């Protein structure tokens, strides 16, 4: 993928499952939400896999182990092996292991996924700042994580121990809505200590490195719902991306995206893996995709036509991103998005 400024979503004459050898799929908001499969996810992934595409599940959620994630996917009807799952817990454990001696104790504030990943790297998880840890690691611990765990991390970090975070996503999708994520918990320790953690998860390089090491992907496609983790991570790794609109990103956020948050492709859901992507073409002073024409003018984005909603959104992206250049688009998109029902 070119690191030049993207001004429109790209088209593909091939189905994406044929154009790329491996899909690096985010989980929350892409494959499932609140533990339940998102509509169209199961049959779409089955068809992509049956067509020869490798599926790898890449998540910033460090709570569950790869075994548990694979079992959950299989229960949903998506057969998965432990090796198909890559977590930010694995990425942060490798980051720590690169900096501390084998067998070192690490204070864990988070769930079982972090503990398993640390042991895989020959490190010993401990629970207290008084257990002589040499580092602190923080990951999503779920809604039941006790407040006292943040105090334990703060005591250790204030003593000068290096502090690591699996990821800093401020929110996480759930079956009931958007909930606080690990980034919100990291802020608690940051406020208490004034320190800054080393972060492993998307969109930063340690997560991309972990994913490529574990999958061996040669033509990967990042598939996600978040601009600031999935899409920016693909940008940082120099690979292509598909944004699906089943999670936290809505049309307004997409249109306003700065260059590092602009996906290569946009589709409504995971059925987008199984089709080509229609080309967005210049049309006079605007852009056309499918039956829609979009343009920027008089401080707003304008849209006319009809057809598939996502085609209209692609055309609007081209108008917004071209007008914004290297900045985030500040044009009023309200009427245009309302016309699409977004």
Q: Which residues are catalytic?
A: 26, 28
What tokens appear for 180 in the block?
Answer: 């606080």
| Contact of 21 with 54, CB cutoff 8 Å | yes
Residue positions counted in the chain: 342
φ/ψ region of 284 (left if φ > 0, alpha if ψ in -120 to 50, else beta) reads left
Q: CA-to-CA distance for 105 and 334, rounded, in angstroms? A: 53
The dihedrals phi and psi of 189, each to the nearest 5 degrees, come to -70, -35
What tokens appear for 3 in the block?
Answer: 């690191």
3-state SS, residue 165: strand
DSSP symbols for 277-315:
BPPPEEETTEEEETTEEEEEETTEEEEEE-S-HHHHHHH
Query: Which residues lie across from 136 on neighbouring strands?
Result: 107, 163
Closest CA to 141 of 111, 182, 172: 111
Closest CA to 118 of 88, 144, 146: 88
Closest CA to 225 of 184, 287, 272: 272
3-state SS, residue 58: strand
Closest CA to 157 of 181, 138, 140: 138
Query: Which residues lie across from 224 on neighbouring strands?
Result: 243
Q: Which H or E run includes 75? A: helix 66-75
């Amino acid at each position: 993928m070119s690191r030049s400024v993207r001004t429109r979503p790209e088209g593909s004459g091939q189905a994406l499952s044929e154009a790329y050898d491996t899909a690096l799929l985010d989980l929350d908001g892409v494959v499932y939400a609140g533990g339940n499969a998102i509509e169209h996810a199961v049959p779409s992934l089955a068809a992509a896999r049956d067509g020869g595409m490798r599926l790898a599940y890449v998540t910033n959620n460090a709570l569950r182990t790869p075994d548990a994630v694979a079992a959950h996917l299989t229960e949903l009807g998506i057969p998965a092996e432990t090796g198909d799952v890559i977590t930010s817990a694995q990425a942060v454990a490798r980051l720590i292991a690169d900096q501390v001696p084998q067998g070192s104790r690490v204070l864990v504030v988070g769930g079982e996924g972090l503990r398993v990943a640390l042991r895989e790297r020959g490190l010993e998880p401990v629970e207290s700042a008084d257990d002589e840890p040499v580092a602190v690691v923080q990951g999503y611990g779920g809604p039941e994580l006790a407040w006292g765990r943040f105090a334990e991390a703060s005591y250790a970090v204030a003593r000068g121990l290096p502090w690591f975070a699996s990821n800093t996503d401020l929110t996480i999708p759930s079956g009931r809505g958007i909930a606080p994520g690990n980034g919100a918990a990291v802020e608690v320790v940051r406020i208490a200590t004034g320190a800054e953690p080393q972060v492993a998860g998307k969109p930063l390089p340690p997560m991309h490195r972990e994913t490529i090491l574990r999958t061996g992907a040669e033509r990967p496609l990042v598939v996600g719902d978040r601009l600031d983790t999935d899409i920016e991570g693909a940008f940082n790794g120099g690979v292509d991306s598909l944004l699906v609109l089943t999670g936290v990103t809505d049309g307004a956020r997409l249109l306003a995206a700065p260059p590092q948050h602009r996906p290569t492709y946009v589709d409504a859901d995971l059925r987008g893996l199984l089709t080509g992507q229609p080309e967005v073409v210049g049309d006079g002073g605007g852009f056309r995709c499918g039956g829609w024409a979009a343009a920027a003018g008089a401080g707003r984005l304008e849209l006319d036509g009809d057809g598939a909603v996502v085609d209209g959104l692609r055309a609007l992206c081209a108008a917004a991103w071209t007008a914004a250049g290297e900045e985030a688009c500040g044009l009023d998109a309200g009427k245009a998005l309302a016309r699409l029902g977004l």
